[in-house]
């Protein structure tokens, strides 16, 4: 459960030049009461395993996007990852292990991603082992085969295995009819079996699950299915069995589904080349999955920290087809949920209108007026109530209702 007294800090950085990133990070650490000279010394100790998770959802622009842009409005910039990893290595003092890994979209080309970012240089930079892993056990070599499990290619996945968590009655999918559940693949049997009755399964990367400290470095970005994707939605990339992740219920509300907002949309999709299944605020399934992912993560005690990359952010048709937005900020905190809440508000959105955030705010009694937020080094008591949309992100048209009301 989140502690309302854990602060969140937002600092300016107008480019990905290392000196700008380091200056912003140091401001964040000072605002959070951490030592900028060795910020992780209090919770990262020599000999520990530290798992760093960026957003590596894609390796190129999808052909289905109606535009192309800078890929760094989609994925985490390597200079931010490196700046954080440098400080992790410093705290480890030559003993321990750093793992940088993600479970990207099933069609992403990981080696293309490695070449584009140049991030593999970190594997030989530090005085502790630093490993970069593709956590996916299955990959899609051709996007035309997307959704067909028997067409997927097998690969090793996480060398540290995986851990299965059964949330049982704690799952928000527990009381939902599972017969229409849809995961990554057209073959729904696995998805339905993983979420029926008291069986509510999520399988987490072993590298993450066994880590002493988890550092999340997501992208500041909008999302067509949940409104915004940051730390909590980003946990999809920590899960090794993607077909356990319920994204929608097939069909339209008239037949008990939420794949499409209405019957007319469902009928149009039957003849469309590109569909946007589940990409509307009426999707009452995926936000529950996001809540479950965070609950699953918290079943094991570990240290947490996050730096959200918002120097070049993504607005509009995220997560795959956003438009670049030079928000020029990094956001940091040691509570993933509270940092997401502050980040959404900085985007100009109302966290109480993002269903998965609203759930935690309500059920965990989070008082936003008591959440300490440091904006550019200044403690802002009115951060959530101020009459501004701050960075004022554009959202998908169907999601215009989540914008903060000024």
Does residue 317 contact residue 221 with C-beta atoms inside 8 Å?
no
CA dihedral 165, 167, 171, 176 (to 10 degrees): 90
pLDDT score at 20: 98
Phi-psi label, residue 117: left if phi above 0, alpha if psi -120 to 50, beta otherwise: alpha
Whether the bond into 319 is cis, omega within 30 of 0? yes
pLDDT of amino acid 3: 67
How many residues appear in the chain?
406
Contact partners, residue 72, CB within 8 Å, separation at least 6: 16, 312, 324
Q: What is the pTM of this model?
A: 0.97
From the CB of residue 404, how many other CB atoms can be counted at a distance below 10 Å?
21
Residue 86 host element (H or E):
helix 78-92
Element (H, E) at 217: strand 213-217
> What pLDDT, on a 0 to 100 scale, did the predictor assign at position 2?
67
CB 406 within 8 A of CB 389: yes
CA torsion 122-215-306-330 (nearest 10°) is 0
**pLDDT the model gives residue 345:** 98
**The pLDDT value given to residue 1:** 65
* Residue 272: predicted pLDDT: 84
- Nearest in space to 44 (alpha carbons), one of 334, 393, 341, 345: 334
Looking at the DSSP assignment, which residues form a beta bridge with residue 181? 249
SS3 call for 328: coil
State the pLDDT at residue 125: 98
* 309: three-class secondary structure by DSSP: strand
Taken in order 232, 218, 323, 7, is the CA torsion positive or negative? Answer: positive
Q: CA-to-CA distance for 26 and 186, rounded, in angstroms?
A: 47
pLDDT at 399: 97
CA distance 81 to 54: 7
Backbone dihedral region for residue 199 (phi beyond 0: left; psi -120 to 50: alpha; all else: beta): beta
Say which residues have a Cβ less than 8 Å from residue 52's Cβ, sequence separation at least 6. Answer: 81, 84, 85, 88, 98, 99, 100, 101, 215, 217
The three-state secondary structure class of 168 is: helix
Helices (H), 243-400: 263-269, 286-297, 336-346, 355-363
Which CATH fold topology does 8-164+204-240+286-402 show?
Rossmann fold (3.40.50)
Sequence spans of domains, the chain: 8-164+204-240+286-402
Name the phi and psi angles at 229, rounded to 5. -120, 120
Mean pLDDT, consecutive 10-residue segments, the chain of 406 residues? 84 98 98 98 98 98 94 98 98 98 96 98 98 97 87 96 98 97 95 98 98 98 98 97 97 96 93 88 98 97 98 97 98 98 98 98 97 98 98 97 97
Q: What is the pLDDT of residue 276?
A: 86
Instruction: Give the per-residue pLDDT at 39.
Output: 98
Burial 278-292 (b: 16+ CB within 10 A, else e): bbbbebebbbbbbbb
For 362, residues 6+ apart whose C-beta sits below 8 A from its C-beta are none
Closest CA to 215 of 301, 303, 133, 83: 303
Q: What is the pLDDT of residue 5?
A: 79
Q: Which residues pair with 129 in a beta bridge?
A: none
Q: Please provide residue 45's backbone torsions phi and psi, each rounded to the nearest 5 degrees.
A: -115, 150
């Amino acid at each position: 459960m989140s502690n309302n007294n854990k602060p969140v800090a937002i600092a300016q950085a107008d480019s990905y030049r290392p000196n700008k990133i380091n200056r912003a990070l140091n401001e964040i650490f000072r605002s959070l009461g951490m030592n900028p000279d060795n910020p992780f010394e209090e919770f990262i100790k020599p000999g520990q395993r530290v798992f760093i998770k960026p957003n590596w959802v894609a390796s190129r622009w999808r052909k289905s996007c109606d535009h192309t842009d800078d890929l760094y409005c989609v994925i985490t910039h390597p200079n931010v990852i490196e700046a954080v990893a440098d400080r992790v290595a410093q705290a480890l003092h030559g003993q321990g292990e750093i793992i940088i890994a993600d479970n990207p979209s099933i069609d992403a080309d990981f080696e293309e991603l490695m070449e584009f970012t140049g991030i593999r240089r970190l594997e030989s930079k530090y005085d502790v082992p630093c490993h970069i892993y593709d956590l996916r056990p299955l990959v899609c070599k051709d996007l035309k085969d997307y959704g067909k499990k028997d067409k997927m290619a097998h690969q090793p996945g996480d060398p540290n295995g995986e851990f299965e968590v059964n949330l049982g009655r704690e799952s928000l999918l527990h009381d939902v009819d599972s017969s229409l559940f849809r995961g990554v693949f057209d073959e729904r049997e696995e998805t339905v079996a993983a979420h029926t009755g008291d069986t509510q399964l999520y399988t987490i990367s072993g590298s993450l699950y066994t880590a002493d400290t988890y550092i999340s470095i997501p992208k500041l970005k909008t999302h067509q299915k949940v409104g915004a994707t940051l730390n909590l939605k980003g946990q999809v990339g920590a899960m090794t069995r993607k077909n356990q992740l319920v994204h929608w219920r097939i069909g339209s509300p008239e037949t008990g589904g939420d794949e499409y907002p209405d019957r007319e949309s469902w009928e149009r999709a039957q003849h469309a080349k590109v569909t946007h299944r589940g990409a509307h605020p009426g999707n009452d399934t995926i936000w529950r999955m996001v809540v479950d992912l965070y609950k699953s993560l918290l079943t094991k005690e570990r240290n947490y920290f996050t730096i959200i990359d918002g120097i070049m952010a993504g607005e509009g048709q995220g997560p795959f087809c956003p438009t670049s937005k030079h928000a020029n900020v990094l956001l940091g905190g040691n509570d993933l949920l509270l940092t997401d809440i502050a980040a959404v508000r900085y985007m100009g959105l109302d966290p109480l209108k993002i269903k998965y955030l609203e759930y935690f705010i309500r059920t965990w009694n989070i008082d936003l007026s008591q959440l300490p937020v440091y904006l550019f080094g200044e403690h802002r008591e009115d951060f959530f109530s101020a009459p501004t949309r701050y960075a004022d992100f554009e959202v998908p048209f169907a999601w215009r209702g989540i914008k903060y009301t000024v």
